[in-house]
Amino acid sequence: MAPSLQIIVVGAGEVGQHLARILSKEGHGVTVVDSDPLKIRLLNESLDVQGLVGDGTRADVLTQAGATKADLLVAVTDDDHVNMLACLVSRGLETKRRILRLKETRILEGYRSFYQRTLGYDIVLSTSELAAREILETVKERHALEVESYFEGRIQMRRLRVHEGDLTGHSLHDLRLNRVVVVGVQRSTDSSRPFFVPGGSDVLQAGDQVYAMGKAADLDVFEREAGEPMAFRREVALVGAGGIGREVAARLGSLYGVTVKMIERDGQRARALDQQGLDNVLILHGDATDLQLLQEEHVDSMDVFVAMTGDDEDNLVACQIAHAMGVKRTVAIINKASYAPVYDLMGVDTAISPRLLCAKLILRFVRSSSPQAVSILAEGRAEVLELRVELDAPTRIQDLDLHPEAKVGARLRGDAVIVPSGSDELAAGDHVIVLATSEALPSVEEALGGRGR
């Protein structure tokens, strides 16, 4: 295991709380600084962290938090200027590494190198840019509700909704999937087992969300078997012309085969965006919950409907209306991450939290020299590990002492990547992708003798 780090988190909002929860569970020493006494008290009561009430831009407060000896400072308040100043001060206190979170990075345009040198941050993350990129990838993917890439993009894991058809009613062993492995199943109808790593005897049900791992071309075939027709053009409806909406509209409009209709309630904002003359983007002034407007604009024929307003309830209602009209896929931005399970229950296909996207990338940075997870799935119920195998002798996967709630999804040997079956061998020097539930995590490294990337 990698040594624990001393980490200071400035900001006890959703991003800060999420980071503190995960990092403290992994054994890191975490100190959270926030000016709100109530937030700090709740953190101290619920997590194994040190909470400190104070201004994260003050040298005396950061010194008290341990900045002079800390391995990492993460500035994730909702105020960009506070985050920038916290990085600058912690640089002067010689904190080893710094991560800067910004809502938008326009302030850096033309001066990125200057700001990085001056503030001393190692990475800057923009919640708006991350969300725009995630929406773009979601629209570009045919039907996957979520996509993760490993081994420099040569292996993908897609979360797909299973429909009645070829994959239902048969055990996974009998399906004999070709170069694709189902590493996880999310089943909302089973409260006792909402997420599990399936064995050969498990049977997929219509409505399941499955995590399938393989190469892109093989996963395309698997999508068809899951009951998803393949499409080659996209008609997309976007709701909300804020920072994320403008970025998404501009990027989608430049893609071949994609046409976009943008609905914005604020007339001034709609006119301003219309004057930009975005390619293949039609700007509409109106309310996305107005059924008459949606019918007039033939939203029912759209491939994807994306709600990106600053109001979670409006996004949810708009997606529900679009779904009821027959839109093939609905996507919503969630500003309050705790709403994510509600969106899933209400039939929204993909819920994207900009704050949690930011937290996920920060976790990857923290774990860059660690044998810990590179992805967190199903609201923290499972993690994906990327490990180097250190076995004494080549061993078949089925003969490894792996926990039943862990599964090897891919193997890299030299330059060759495969999706292995139980009869394939692992040997010292191989790199593997493994999905494991929380209870299986401690046994995975022991079984594989693994080290981090």
Task: Among 166, 190, 225, give the residue marking a domain's end.
Answer: 225
Spatial contact of 17 and 43, defined as CB atoms under 8 Å apart: yes
Residue 253 lies in a domain: yes
- Residue 452: per-residue pLDDT: 46
Q: Is the per-residue pLDDT at 76 higher than 80?
A: yes
CA count, 13 A, side-chain hemisphere, 428: 4
List beta partners, residue 427. none
User: What is the per-residue pLDDT for 398?
Assistant: 92
Same domain, 216 and 237: no
Q: Could you tell me if 348 and 305 lie in one domain?
A: yes
Q: What letter would DSSP give residue 110?
A: T
Banded model confidence at residue 453, pLDDT cuts 50, 70, 90? very low
Residue 94's CB is within 10 A of a number of other CB atoms, namely 11
Q: Please say which residue of 225, 243, 263 terminates a domain.
A: 225
pLDDT attached to residue 3: 63
| Section 426-450 average pLDDT | 85
Average pLDDT of the chain to the nearest whole number: 87
Q: Is residue 131 part of a domain?
A: no
Instruction: Give pLDDT, residue 142.
Output: 58
Q: Give the span between the Cα atoms of 358 and 385, in whole angstroms.
A: 19
Residue, of 278 and 34, whose pLDDT is higher: 34
73 bridge partner residues = 8, 98
Residue 371 pLDDT level (bands cut at 50, 70, 90):
very low
3 state DSSP class of 333: strand
In the chain, how many domains are there?
4
- Rounded to an integer, what distance in angstroms lies between the CA atom of residue 96 and that of residue 143? 42
Same structural domain for residues 214 and 238?
no
Give the model's pLDDT for residue 54.
Answer: 97
The bridge status of strand 395-396 relative to strand 406-413 is unpaired
Residue 214's domain spans which residues?
A: 137-225
Whether the Cβ atoms of residue 439 and residue 403 lie closer than 8 Å to each other:
yes
What's the pTM value of the predicted model, to 2 decimals?
0.62
The pLDDT tens digits of the residues spanning 210-267 come to: 999 999 889 888 888 887 665 557 899 999 998 889 889 988 888 778 899 999 999 9
Asked which of 53-67, 216-230, 341-355, 388-402 is least confident by mean pLDDT, the reply is 216-230
Three-state SS for 428? Answer: coil
Token couple for 194: 């909402």
Residue 371 sits in the same domain as residue 346 = no
